[in-house]
Structure 1
Amino acid sequence: MSVRVLKPGLLTSLQDSGRPGHAALGVGRAGAIDGPAWRLANALVGNAGDEAALEFTLVGPVLRFEHATVIALTGAPVEARVGGQSVPGWTCCALPARSELQLGGMRQGCRGYLAVRGGFAVEPVLGSRSTDLHARLGPLHGRALQAGDRLSVGEHAKWRALRATHAPVHLPWGLDPQPWFDFAHAPLALMRGHHFDQMDDESRRALFKAWFTVSKDSNRTASRLEGQRLQLQQPLELISEAALPGTMQLPPSGQPIVLQAEAPVTGGYPRIGQLAAVDLARLAQRKPSDAVCFQPTTLEQASERLLRRQQRLQRLLRDIAQRLEDA
Structure 2
Amino acid sequence: MIEILASPAFNTIQDLGRNGARRFGVSTSGAMDPLALAGGNALLGNDDNAAGIEIQTFPFRLRFQTDAPFALTGADPVSTLAGSPVPSWWCTRARAGDILEIGTPRRGARVYATFGGGVDVPRVLGSRSTHLRAGFGGLEGRTLQVGDVIPVGKPSCEAGRRFDFGAAPPDVAIAGAGTADDRMLRIRLMRAGEYDLFSEEVQAKFWSTSWKISARSDRGGYRLTGARLILDAPVEMRSHGVVAGVVQVPPGGEPIIQMSDANTAGGYPKMAAVIQADLWRLGQATPGSFIVFSEVSYQDAVAAMAPVNDYLAKLRATANLYRAL
SS of 1:101's partner is strand
Gaps of 5+ in 2: none
Q: How far, CA to CA, are the matches of 1:144 and 1:182 in structure 2?
A: 31
Bigger CA drift: 146-155 or 310-319? 310-319
**Residue 204 of structure 1 aligns with which residue?**
203
Q: Is the 8 A contact 2:19 2:126 kept in 1?
A: no
SS of equivalent residue, structure 2 residue 46: coil
Note the alpha carbon deviations across 1:133-164, whole angstroms, 9 max, x for none: 233221223211011111011123532124xx
Alignment of 1:108-187 (within 5 A): 108-156=107-155, 158-162=158-162, 171=164, 173-177=165-169, 178-179=172-173, 182=178, 184=180, 185-187=184-186
**Following the alignment from structure 2 to structure 1, what is the Cα–Cα distance between the partners of residues 246 and 233?**
21
Q: Is the 8 A contact 2:7 2:58 kept in 1?
A: no
- Quick one: structure 1 residues 145 and 275, their matched pair in 2 at CA, closer, same or farther if it must change by over 3 Å? same
Matched with 1:165 is none
1:176 counterpart letter in structure 2: A
For residues 299-318 of structure 1, the aligned pairs below 5 Å read 299-318=298-317
Which residue does the alignment assign to 1:104?
103
Taking the aligned partners of 1:182 and 1:225, their CA distance within structure 2 comes to 21
| Bigger mean CA offset, 288-297 vs 306-315 | 306-315
The equivalent of 1:14 in structure 2 is 13
**Alignment pair present for 1:72 and 2:71:** yes
CA distance in 2, matches of 1:193, 1:65: 47
Q: Deviations over 1:192-225 (max 9, x none)?
A: 1211121233321111111011111111111111
Q: Corresponding residue for 1:239?
A: 238
Determine if the alignment matches structure 1 residue 280 to structure 2 residue 274: no
- Paired amino acid for 1:175: A
The alignment partner of 1:311 has SS state of helix
AA in 2 matched with 1:296: E
Structure 1 window deviating more from structure 2 (233-242 vs 9-18): it is: 9-18
1:84 aligns with 2:83: yes
149-158 vs 244-253, greater mean Cα deviation: 149-158
Q: Which amino acid aligns with 2:158?
A: K
1:158 to 1:317, Cα distance in 2 relative to 1, 3 A: closer
| RMSD over aligned Cα atoms | 1.7
Asked if the contact 1:12–1:60 (Cα under 8 Å) also holds between the matched residues in 2, the reply is no
- In structure 2, distance between residues paired with 1:127 and 1:151: 19
Return the offset for 1:281.
1.3
Deviates more, 1:247-256 or 1:85-94: 85-94
How far apart, CA to CA, are the structure 1 residues paired with 2:33 and 2:239? 27
Contact 1:10 1:60 in 2 (8 A): no
CA distance in 1, matches of 2:210, 2:38: 31
The whole-number CA distance in structure 1 between the counterparts of 2:186 and 2:320 is 33
How many Å separate the matches in 1 of 2:144 and 2:178? 27
Q: Residues of 1 paired with 2:179 and 2:135: CA distance?
A: 32
Q: Which amino acid letter does the alignment assign opposite residue 179 of structure 1?
A: A
* Equivalent residue letter for 2:138: P
> Which shifted more, 250-259 or 7-16?
7-16
- Of 150-159 and 287-296, deviating more is 150-159
Partner of 1:218: 217
CA distance in 2, matches of 1:312, 1:116: 21
State how far apart, in whole Å, the 1-side matches of 2:59 and 2:114 are. 13
Q: How many Å separate the matches in 2 of 1:72 and 1:9? A: 21
SS of the residue 1:142 aligns to: coil
**Percent of aligned positions that are identical:** 32
Task: Output the TM-score relative to the length of structure 1.
Answer: 0.92
Q: Which runs of 5+ in 1 are unaligned?
A: 163-169
| Structure 1 Cα separation of the partners of residues 118 and 32 of structure 2 | 18
CA-CA distance at 1:32 after TM superposition:
1.1
Is contact 1:133–1:142 with CA below 8 Å preserved after alignment? Answer: yes
Find runs of 4+ consecutive structure 1 residues off by over 6 angstroms: none
SS for the counterpart of 1:217 is coil
* Alignment-derived partner of residue 268 in structure 2: 269
What is the CA-CA distance between 1:73 and the residue it aligns to? 0.3
Residue equivalent to 2:32: 33
The match for 1:167 is none
Letter in 1 for 2:206: L
Q: 1:182 Cα deviation (Å)? A: 4.1
